[in-house]
Amino acid sequence: MLFDLTEVLSGENKVIQKEIPLELNAVTYQREEFQVVAKTPVSLTVTHVGKKEVLIEAAVDVTVRIPCDRCLADVDRRFHLSISRGFDLQVEEETRRRELDECGFLDGYKLDVDLMIFHEIILNWPMKILCREDCKGICRKCGKNLNEGACDCDMTELDPRMAKIFDIFNNSR
Ligand SMILES: [Zn+2]
Ligand SMILES: [Zn+2]
């Protein structure tokens, strides 16, 4: 949703507080799409500090469904986001975009709330997603989820030279 900053700029020290519905339904990260399974409205506070300088504060909880790195089971990862950033709207937009790396969520006096939250999720994306600390993963041979129990696969992969020795041993018996 776009939030118009014109109103807050109409007076010095003006503060606008609003609950804004989050429209974001999916997050695309590294060419993969992840569903947003739960979200709260964005609690947004915009303060006109003065001279077209605004402070944008936002808080929101977003839950994204991400597969476990090891067993691919769905993991609902909750992002508890709290954003606080100042912008000087007097500075040319091009300069701002270059210097502040704001990723285009502030377009003129329009704040793209969804895009801002999206970028915050990406910034907080976990290095590793595990369904549980000791996830056993998937068997590389039969594909069974090993958290549900062991499979019957023989995982002792023999060195081919060792295998030959075993053959000789077996044949000589
Ligand atoms: Zn797992
Ligand atoms: Zn197996």
- Report how far ligand 2's centroid is from the alpha carbon of 157 (Å): 13
Query: For 78-135, what is each residue's pLDDT tens digit?
Result: 999 999 998 888 876 667 666 665 567 888 889 999 999 999 999 999 999 999 999 9
Residue 122 tokens, joined: 């990406």
The protein residues having their C-beta less than 5 angstroms from ligand 1 (an ion) are: 68, 70-71, 73, 131, 135
pLDDT given at position 101: 59
Q: Which residue has the tokens 């429209």?
A: 23
* Radius of gyration, CA atoms only, the chain: 26
148 CA distance to ligand 1 middle (Å): 10
Q: Interior CA angle at 58 toward 54 and 64, to 5°? A: 145
**Predicted confidence (pLDDT) per residue in 52-80, tens digit:** 899 999 999 999 999 999 999 999 999 99
Instruction: Give the pairing type, strands 106-107 and 2-4.
Output: unpaired
Residues with CB under 5 A from ligand 2 (ion): 139, 141-142, 144, 151, 153
**What pLDDT does residue 162 have?**
58
**Mode of pairing for the β-strands spanning 42-50 and 53-67:** antiparallel
Q: Are 27 and 65 within 8 A, CB to CB?
A: no
Rounded distance from Cα 141 to ligand 2 centre (Å): 5
Ligand 2 centre distance from Cα of residue 9 (Å): 63
